Amino acid sequence: MIGPPPGSTTQNLSPQSFDITQIRRDFPALSQMVNGKPLVYLDNAATTQKSTTVIEALSRYYSKDNANVHRGVHALSERATTAYEGSREKTREFLNASKSKEIIFVRGATEGINLVAQVMGQRLQPGDEIVISTMEHHSNIVPWQMLRDTRGVVLRVIPINDAGELILNEYDKLLNERTRLVSLVHLSNVIGTINPIREVIVRAHNRGIPVLIDGAQAVSHVKVDVQALDCDFYVFSSHKLFGPTGVGVLYGKESLLESLPPYQGGGEMISSVSFDRTVYNTLPYKFEAGTPNIAGVIGLGTAIDYVTKLGLEKIAAHKDNLMSYATESIGAIEGVRIIGTAEAKASVLSFIMDNVHPHDVGTILDQEGIAVRTGHHCGQPLMDRFGLVATVRASFAFYNTSEEVDRLVSALHRVREVFV
């Protein structure tokens, strides 16, 4: 059978007043043809598409306001600075941070994690411990391994169950007097698990241990309130929130950021320089050495505007409906096994097909105009946990539709016809 499973019907799954047709018009990349067929873009966990408003914001900066930010007295610099710092305030509101100075602009979530690892690492001693989990992205594994190799830090790993959920009792056993940081993914980019972040933070804080949260996948799926979570650090990437590539955010509690040394040296991060001594700048500039990605930061602010105007609750409702429909439809295909069945899960669907390599699945889907991701998704330890080398990953955004799920299901039936 081609299409949705028996008993299912394609339907408009969007909540009322969520105009999916207009939303899709706002994203020009979605209107193209791929291999002679309308594009179905289901690789949103890798990067999201950009709205016309974001593209126009980038163009406007480069065509009208192109100047370096801060310290300039001419009109272009003042306009650029206003837009740049305006994006910092928008980001603060988006995360519900207490102060704008707690928002540090970086190149992405990867650099945000590396920043914390490098500046905290200067104070770590051999035998100090860092706790992460089995489901971490490589960006939240390798920086800590580098500290292990250079500083003698010990890396502890929280195990997961067969559904892809943290085993919290085992997590408790890992926390001790040598634990210096817990660094944990909020939402798995591989299997979509939404971790119980607040509970993880409480258990760590009860022992006086700070917590860093990798929110690269989470910010486009769930409402993030860093004050309610009480996390010490939170990182995310603009390009996974419908903004430009090459820019991201590190949120840190003011007291912690004040206590840490700078990450890099150069312009902007200084207050004064002589050959005898340098006085570092105040937050947030102490961690923003050199000319920043001005256009990217402005584009991020525009993306936040778009998402906020659309409504986070409506976005969540639409994607929850879409994820339920996709899980049911794809799970009903003979020979398909979904990887990751956590009770709390967002719109990331990883699966394998009997007797078909994921790369072959992805190649045939591309012929049908469907973009998915195949491979280990920068989560090789997680793949090892499930005894796999790769999966097919379909990941959904608010501009995806149930009709696109049906096209994916039909194409997967074609894969079975070719290989089975």
**Residue written as tokens 């906020």?**
308
Instruction: Compute the distance between CA of residue 215 and CA of residue 96 in angstroms, rounded to an integer.
Output: 14
The SS3 of residue 285 is helix
**Residue written as tokens 């993030």?**
224
Q: Identify the H or E element spanning 38.
A: strand 37-38
Instruction: Compute the distance between CA of residue 401 and CA of residue 396 in angstroms, rounded to an integer.
Output: 9
Determine whether 231 is an active site residue.
Answer: no
Q: Identify the H or E element spanning 259.
A: helix 254-259
Instruction: Compute the distance between CA of residue 379 and CA of residue 373 in angstroms, rounded to an integer.
Output: 13
**Residue written as tokens 């306001």?**
65
| Catalytic-labelled residue, pool 378, 380, 403, 419 | 378
297: amino acid identity, one letter: V
Dihedral of CA 167/172/177/181: which sign? Answer: positive
State the first-to-last Cα distance of the chain, in angstroms, to the nearest integer.
14
Q: Residues 402, 359: contact at Cβ < 8 Å? A: no
Total length of the chain = 420
Query: What does 16-57 look like in DSSP terms, one character per residue?
Result: TT--HHHHHHT-GGGG-EETTEE-EE-BTTT-----HHHHHH
Catalytically active residues are 378
